[in-house]
């Protein structure tokens, strides 16, 4: 996209080198607006990669991440199948030898700072890492966007799973629990959208409209991370994992055109 | 158009966490209500039968 921004040739007359796109995705480029047609071409070129791969990590880091995911899956399985889930997970919450989790329906959630508080969107509302005593009022369109994300998160996770050929820790187990930071349990908590058995954390952002998607990815590239990168970093701390993927997903709709991934 | 997605890698960043954790602690010290909530949370944790 960096080349896209610098070049004034019409989009059809130009072949976009993949390397240029990847290069741009690794640095913070200048913020400029490109046409949607250009943004679409750039995004599609990236999305159509035949086999998506997660970035390579050192062998030792990969091994540790896999072990961590394995321990997490085991403890979540125990907690998920506990007869009295809330009581069981709360009872274990102060046991530092245990993976500290509690049910997402637990009132304990209200006492915590959540990884999501690190997104610039949340900070704009709360002006603080702590959740405000009174929840902020949201506009109808904001509520609609939030609901869209809730409704489609599972679809997005499945899409990314297939794209990367991931094997996931059971998503319903992951989504049921909140984890406390192992060394700062009084302060930070978080809930991952998904975790792979190889120890990659997935944070899903569902973008409701086609224009919204291309504005976010096509025009901003790496800068699209700005709003949520700290949230992912906080989740990585909470789950003790080395790598996360911030996944922007758009569900598409009929009549949007013939381009697809 | 079928669904599509775009993924950015984010790496754990120790320096970032050190900075943020200090900031959080500092903020907690400035907020009595936040500290009260945390204290209540600790009590709940230590007495799980309470809820």
* Of A240 and B19, the one with more pLDDT: A240
Structure tokens of A198?
């190889």
d(CA A229, CA A118): 8
Better-predicted residue by pLDDT, B31 or B51 = B31
CB contact under 8 A, A245 and B16: no
Cα gap A60→A68, rounded to integer Å: 12
> What pLDDT score does A255 carry?
46
Segment A161-173 mean pLDDT: 92
- Decide if A129 and B31 are in contact by the 8 Å CB cutoff: no
Provide the 3-class DSSP secondary structure of residue A253.
Answer: coil
What does the pLDDT read at residue A170? 92
The tokens for A126 are: 């709360």
ipTM: 0.74
The band of A88, judged by pLDDT with boundaries at 50, 70 and 90, is low
Radius of gyration of chain B (CA): 19
Architecture category of domain A56-249 in CATH: Alpha-Beta Complex (3.90)
Confidence of residue B39 (pLDDT cuts 50, 70, 90): low
Mean pLDDT, rounded, for A158-167: 93
Taking residues A161-178, report their average pLDDT. 89
CB contact under 8 A, B10 and A225: yes
Helix (H) or strand (E) holding B27: helix B14-30
CA dist A159 → A149, A194, A217, A231 (Å): 14, 12, 17, 22
CA angle B7, B8, B12 (to 5 degrees): 135
Q: For residue A188, which residues of chain B lie inside 8 Å, CB to CB?
A: 21, 24
A42: enclosing H helix or E strand: helix A36-47
Handedness of CA A41, A44, A49, A50 (dihedral sign): negative
Q: Name the pLDDT band for A96 (thresholds 50, 70, 90).
A: very low
* Inter-chain residue contact A90 with B45, CB threshold 8 Å: yes
Write down the domain spans for chain A: 1-50, 56-249
pLDDT on residue A31: 46
Range name among A58-67, B22-31, B35-44 with the lowest pLDDT average: B35-44
| Closest chain B residue by Cα to residue A231 | B10
- pLDDT higher for B6 or B23? B6
Look at A216 and B45; give whichever has higher pLDDT. Answer: A216
pLDDT, tens only, A248-258: 999 876 444 43
Q: Indicate whether A41 pLDDT > 80.
A: no
């Amino acid at each position: 996209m960096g080349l896209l921004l610098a070049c004034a040739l019409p989009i059809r007359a130009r072949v976009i080198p993949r390397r240029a796109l990847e290069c741009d995705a690794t640095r913070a480029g200048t913020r400029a607006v490109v046409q949607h047609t250009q943004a679409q071409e750039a995004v599609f070129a990236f999305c159509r990669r035949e086999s998506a791969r997660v970035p390579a990590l050192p062998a030792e880091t990969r091994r540790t991440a896999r072990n961590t995911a394995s321990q997490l899956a085991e403890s979540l399985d125990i907690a998920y199948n506990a007869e009295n889930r809330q009581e069981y997970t709360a009872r274990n919450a102060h046991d530092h030898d245990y993976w500290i989790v509690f049910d997402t329906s637990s009132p304990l959630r209200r006492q915590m700072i959540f990884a999501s508080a690190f997104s610039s969107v949340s900070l704009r509302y709360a002006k603080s890492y702590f959740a405000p005593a009174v929840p902020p009022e949201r506009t109808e369109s904001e509520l609609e966007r939030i609901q869209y994300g809730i409704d489609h998160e599972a679809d997005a996770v499945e899409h990314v799973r297939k794209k990367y050929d991931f094997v996931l820790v059971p998503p319903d187990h992951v989504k049921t629990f909140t984890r406390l930071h192992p060394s700062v349990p009084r302060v930070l908590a978080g809930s991952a959208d998904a975790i792979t058995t190889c120890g990659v954390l997935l944070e899903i952002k569902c973008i409701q409209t086609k224009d919204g998607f291309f504005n976010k990815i096509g025009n901003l590239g790496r800068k699209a991370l700005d709003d949520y990168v700290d949230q992912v970093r906080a989740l990585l701390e909470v789950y003790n994992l080395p790598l996360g993927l911030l996944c922007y997903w758009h569900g598409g709709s009929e009549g949007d055109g013939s381009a697809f991934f | 158009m079928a669904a599509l997605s775009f993924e950015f890698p984010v790496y754990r960043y120790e320096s970032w966490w050190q900075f943020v954790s200090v900031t959080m602690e500092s903020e907690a010290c400035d907020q009595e209500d936040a500290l009260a909530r945390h204290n209540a949370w600790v009590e709940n944790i230590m007495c799980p039968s309470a809820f």
